[in-house]
Structure 1
Amino acid sequence: MTAVCREGTMRRAGEERMLRYTLKRMLIGVLSLIVLATVTFFLVRIMPGSPFQQGGVSSQVVEAVEEEYGLNEPIFTQYLNYMGGLLKGDFGISYQDPSTEVAEVIKRAWPVTASVGIAALAVSVLLGTGLGILRAVSEKRAVREIISGAGMLAAGIPTFAAAILLLLLFSVRLKWLPASGLLSPAHYILPVTALALYPAAVISRLTSNALSAEMGKAYYLFARAKGLGKWRAVFTHALKNAYLPVLNYVGPASASLLTGSFVIESIFTIPGLGREFVGSITNRDYTLILGLTVFMGAVVIAVNLATDLLCAWLSPETGRAYKKADGRQRK
């Protein structure tokens, strides 16, 4: 009975530590988002020119339009007004298209970027994990060398160069795949492949190295000595521990993929967040730049938080580290 009570107490203490850690990370995320919005606001304001100074518009007209939008007010007043609206969920309107709210642009472009990012993430995780496991488990040297060489090649080619090469080969020369847009599943193949090459190579290397190390440990060797097959021992025992370094990489990588690749979306003419962001900078659309930056920052923070919590749940060592850190703080 005493052992059961002690186990329940330890479990509740662990849940409390995880709750405190989660709340702490959420608070840090909110503060980081406020800092990001603040820095971006002032950087945007010191950009030369005006969002309305285009097409030979006279300076008098520019001043009148800026006064209408409150851009003639002191910069700190503008900052407080913007942050007040942001805290209410109001991203403002686009200066280049006053009839369109920034939230509408995000709502329109985000699903497009997310669809490409999720597909690239799935391909990179599945391909990288599979090749990493095969490289670690295979007894054939030729297989290991081919996977290693292909990974080095994929990791060494910049994403934009891979996109251009894929476009020239499969779209321009062979004419097998469409070159732009996202009108059908076939349109996803080239941009998803270009985005997935580098993370797949990194995941393959991380999985292979970590799994090779786990396969040399006592618990794996003991499982094999008991008669468990190699593949079953890998998937039952070793892969869970070996995958923690991969999860630590997948978090930031997935955040990057989900917020869009500016170069890929520009090359393949994909109407996503990346292309909208490039266009907003070109047009000096202050509110659109700020809105896209804050939204993409929120996605990055949320994905990284989810990854950290998943790693803490899977790794007992991480949980013990939180317990020690919590004990030091109390002292």
Structure 2
Amino acid sequence: MAAYTLKRLAAGIVSLFVLATATFFLVRLIPGSPFQNGGVSSQVVEAVEEEYGLNEPLLDQYITYMGNLIRGDLGVSYQEPGTSVAEVIKRTWPVTASLGAAALLAAVIFGTGLGILRAVSKYKAIREGIAAVGMIFAGIPNFAAAILLLLVFSVKLGWFPSAGLLTPAHYVLPVISLMLYPMAVISRLTGNALATEMEKQYVLFARAKGLGNVRILFTHTLKNAWIPVLNYVGPASASLLTGSFVAESIFTIPGLGREFVSSITNRDYTLILGLTVFMGTVVITVNLITDLVCAWMDPGTRRGYGA
């Protein structure tokens, strides 16, 4: 396990390096200058670019930026002079994290519950109904669900607020719009895995010993059936964070996603790079933790890692 963990950490560092490098050069392909706003003259633009070092050769800019990045300096936002990228992340990340965590928690709880019900129900109508609802939810795009929920439950019925993230009521619509797809996937994974586990020999042996179905479910089969779900939770966390960009824009939530969209529109190179590196770090960390938890739960996986 130790060797595997170190190998994954090294792969994560290399991935971040490649991500930062690719993003650095790609943002430079965006037409125009970050300072070409409001009819500013070309002389002023050139002077400001010189102040920020944008008139230097691209390779020199890259070396300077990567050197600062290694020291933990993400630079200063071009559109908010005097405000560092780290300050922008510190201000907006808790909002996005709370929204994504709430959506992931809701997806896990409801998805697992529906998956269990689908696996253990004796009624074909219930099993097929859960499967059909899951297919519908999985097929609805994130932005379409957000707009539909906003129009019906906020604009038309007025049950929930339409903008911001100030009270628990503000979380309801954006969380629902974000949780639908992962909930459907988790429900299918849990249902299929449980159905397979219930047919295995250890379950038959437990029944022969007189154990009840509920005890067998929560003591034995659910832990094994949850391993595929855990393998999905890591990428799902990344999906929720990127998916929250749309939700934050539609529901006017001042989070990381809306800041990222704004940085692209304003050609704020340092902010785009800083947010990309930060999000990449979060995604790699979550996936590493997920892999380690799966290895801890599954002895076969641990043996495969040489633990």
Deviations 1:295-328 (A, max 9, x none): 00000000000001111111122122223xx9xx
**After superposition, where does 1:307-326 map in structure 2 within 5 Å?**
307-323=290-306
Mapped partners of 1:207, 1:199: distance in 2: 12
1:107-129 deviation line (CA, Å, top 9, x unaligned): 00000000000100100000000
Counterpart check, 1:231 vs 2:214: yes
Structure 2 residue 97 is matched with structure 1 residue 114:
yes
Task: Give runs of aligned pairs for residues 37-52 of structure 1, distance below 5 A.
Answer: 37-52=20-35
1: CA distance, partners of 2:81 / 2:244 = 26
Q: For residues 97 and 131 of structure 1, what CA distance do their matches in structure 2 show? A: 46
Tell me the secondary structure at the aligned position of residue 183 of structure 1.
coil
Give the CA deviation at 1:256: 2.7
Which amino acid counterpart does residue 29 of structure 2 have in structure 1?
I
Q: For 1:243, what is the secondary structure of its paired residue?
A: helix
Amino acid at match of 1:243: W
Matches within 5 A, 1:75-224: 75-224=58-207
* Deviation string, structure 1 residues 235-256 (Cα, Å, up to 9, x no partner): 1111111111111101110133
Does residue 56 of structure 2 align to residue 73 of structure 1?
yes
Q: Quick one: distance in 2 between partners of 1:86 and 1:320?
A: 37
Contact kept in structure 2, 1:277 and 1:289, CA below 8 Å: yes
1:266-321 deviations in Å (ceiling 9; x for gaps): 00001111100000000000000000000000000000000011111111221222
Tell me which residue corresponds to 1:55: 38
Counterpart for residue 250 of structure 1: 233
Q: Is the 8 A contact 2:119 2:191 kept in 1?
A: yes
SS in structure 2 at match of 1:71: coil
CA offsets 1:164-184 (integer angstroms, 9 cap, x no match): 111111001111111110111
In 1, are the aligned partners of 2:118 and 2:191 still within 8 Å (CA)? Answer: yes
CA deviations 1:92-119 (Å, max 9, x no partner) are 1110111211101000000000000010
Distance in 2 separating the partners of 1:158 and 1:124: 16
User: In the TM superposition, what is the alpha-carbon distance from 1:85 to its structure 2 partner?
Assistant: 0.9
How many pairs does the alignment contain?
A: 307
Supply the distance in 2 between the matched residues of 1:254 and 1:159 (Cα, whole angstroms). Answer: 15
Listed as ranges, the gaps of 5+ residues in structure 1 are 1-17, 327-331
Which ranges of structure 2 fall in alignment gaps of 5 or more residues?
none
Q: Post-superposition shift, 1:260? A: 5.6
Pick 1 or 2: higher relative contact order, CA cutoff 8 A, min separation 6.
Answer: 2
CA distance in 1, matches of 2:141, 2:214: 34
Q: Give the TM-score, by structure 1 length.
A: 0.91
CA distance in 1, matches of 2:73, 2:36: 25
Partner Cα distance (2:302, 2:107) in 1 = 28
Question: 1:241 corresponds to which letter in structure 2?
Answer: N
Q: Secondary structure at the match of 1:228?
A: coil
Post-superposition shift, 1:259?
A: 5.5
User: Which residue identity lines up with residue 62 of structure 1 in the other structure?
Assistant: V
User: Residue in 2 aligned with 1:9?
Assistant: none
Tell me how far apart the structure 2 counterparts of residues 259 and 201 of structure 1 sit (CA, whole Å). 18
Q: CA deviation at 1:19?
A: 0.7
Q: What residue in structure 1 maps to residue 273 of structure 2? A: 290
User: In structure 1, how many angstroms separate the alpha carbons of the residues matched to 2:241 and 2:266?
Assistant: 24
1:262 to 242, 245, 249: 245
Does structure 2 conserve the Cα–Cα contact (< 8 Å) formed by 1:259 and 1:273? no
Matched AA of 1:245? P
Q: Tell me the TM-score normalized by structure 2.
A: 0.98
Q: Distance in 2 between matches of 1:192 and 1:19?
A: 37
